[in-house]
Amino acid sequence: MKRILHIMKRIFIVLLVVASLLFSLLFFIVLNLWGATNSSTKIKSLAADSELYSFATTYIRDEVINSSNIPINDDASFDQLNEAVSTKKVTATINGSIDNFFLLAQNKTKDSVFPVEITTNSNGQNYNFSKKANFTDSPALYLLRRINSILLILAACALLPLFLAVLLSKTTAAKLNIVGRSSAFLAIFLGTVLGLLLELLPHHLNQIVTSSAIVSDPRLVNAVVKLVNVAVNRQVLYYALEIIVFVLFAAIFLYIAKAETKEESYLSDKL
Predicted pLDDT of residue 20: 95
Alpha helices, DSSP H, located in 106-217: 139-145, 147-168, 172-199, 201-212
Predicted pLDDT of residue 33: 87
What are the counts of helices (DSSP H) followed by strands (DSSP E) for the chain? 10, 2
Domain range annotation of the chain: 1-42+137-269, 74-132
- The 3-state DSSP composition of the chain as helix, strand, coil percent (nearest 5) reads 80, 5, 15
Q: Tens digit of pLDDT per residue, the chain (271 long)?
A: 677 776 788 888 899 999 999 999 999 999 998 888 888 899 899 888 888 888 888 888 888 777 766 665 666 767 777 777 888 888 988 888 888 888 888 888 777 777 778 777 666 667 777 777 777 777 778 888 899 999 999 999 999 999 999 998 888 888 999 999 999 999 999 999 988 888 777 776 667 666 654 555 677 777 777 887 888 888 888 899 999 999 999 999 999 988 877 765 544 555 5
Cα 40 to Cα 8, 98, 134, 169, 261: the distances in Å are: 51, 6, 17, 46, 51
Alpha helices, DSSP H, located in 38-146: 40-49, 52-67, 75-84, 87-105, 139-145
Q: Residues 132, 133, 138, CA angle at the centre, nearest 5°?
A: 140
Predicted pLDDT of residue 27: 96
Q: Residues 16, 157, 161, CA angle at the centre, nearest 5°?
A: 25
**CB 178 within 8 Å of CB 165:** yes
Alpha helices, DSSP H, located in 73-122: 75-84, 87-105
- Cβ-Cβ contacts under 8 Å for 216 (sequence gap 6 or more): 210
Model's pTM, two decimal places? 0.82
Predicted pLDDT of residue 75: 65
Predicted pLDDT of residue 122: 63
Annotate 123-134 with b (16+ C-beta within 10 A) or e (fewer). eebebbbeeeee
